[in-house]
Amino acid sequence: MNTPELDILVICAHPDDAELGCGGTLIKHAKMGHKVGIIDMTMGEMGTRGTPELRIKESLDAAKILGLTIRENLKLPDTKLKVTEEFQLKIIEKIRKYRPKIIITNAPNDRHPDHGNGAELVISSAWLSGLTKLETIGEDGLPQKAFRTEKVYQFIQYKLFEPDFVVDVSKYTQQKMDAIMCYKSQFYDPNSTEPETLIASPAFLESNKARNYMMGNFAMIEEGEGFLSKFTPAVDHLFNLI
């Protein structure tokens, strides 16, 4: 079976990061016919609620709603993400395997240290992936070809940033919420006996919904998801802007 080349690949710290940060964008592009995938770097095993095995199951349930082509987990250590050669090589192997046109990762810094640290890990790996003298071996045992994705974006998480651009997800926010709610172990459930956490409160989910409107306000649309870019995005002509 041939490995699919992806249009969009999200590489993020924890299962549920992508759903919260850019779930509507992923659903929208999958419905447009683009091949979209997620690679979670950790299983979120240090989280207060749930188990790593349950988080994996929840992430695969969410993948169906998002319309993903692939979803994988690198099983790197939760709360210990940092820029190391070992971790970079694992990510580079995936980038060279799927050769995505766009990579999306975590926010530059955030309440959870893994978010900012994971983002730096992904961004550095995306650049290194283009070096022809950096050798990696694929799952088929053969040397991989160098590949660099020029478009690397970051979604906005707990900490608020002014976005560099906004994707209109007005038609997809309910489906986004359905994907988020696949993580029943993590988010608000009045019948749960798990310990209380910040993200397990009703207010957290409401704040995520409110952020859709806030990002939409930046771009004068109903609901949106904001992204950051290290480089200024360009358009072919003014009519590409809405």
Domains of the chain: 8-230 (3.40.50.10320)
Q: What is the pTM of this model?
A: 0.96
Cα 40 to chain centroid distance, Å, stands at: 8
Mean pLDDT of the chain: 95
Task: Report the 10 Å Cβ neighbour count for 184.
Answer: 15
Task: Report the 10 Å Cβ neighbour count for 111.
Answer: 12
> Cβ neighbours of residue 203 under 8 Å, at least 6 residues apart?
none
Span 60-100, pLDDT tens digits: 999 999 999 999 999 999 999 999 999 999 999 999 999 99
Cα(122)–Cα(116) distance, rounded to whole angstroms?
10
Contact between residue 200 and residue 186 where contact means Cβ atoms under 8 Å apart: yes
pLDDT at 242: 80
**DSSP for the chain, written as a single string:** -PPPPPSEEEEESSTTHHHHHHHHHHHHHHHTT--EEEEES---TTSSSS-HHHHHHHHHHHHHHHT-SEEEE--PPTT-----HHHHHHHHHHHHHH--SEEEE--SS-SSHHHHHHHHHHHHHHHHTT-TTS--B-TTSSBPPP---SEEEEE--SS----SEEEE-TTTHHHHHHHHTT-TTTS--TT--SPP-STTSHHHHHHHHHHHHHHHHHHTSSSEEEEEESS----SSGGG--
* Position 3 pLDDT exceeds 90: no
pLDDT at 109: 93
pLDDT at 224: 98
Amino acid identity for residue 8 in this structure: I
* Average pLDDT over every residue of 11-24: 98
Percent of the chain scoring above 70 in pLDDT: 100
pLDDT band (50, 70, 90) for residue 1: low
> Cβ neighbours of residue 1 under 8 Å, at least 6 residues apart?
none
Span 185-202, pLDDT tens digits: 999 888 888 888 999 998
Span 96-126, pLDDT tens digits: 999 999 999 999 999 999 999 999 999 999 9
Relative to beta strand 151-155, strand 224-229 is antiparallel
Cα(202)–Cα(190) distance, rounded to whole angstroms?
9
pLDDT at 53: 96
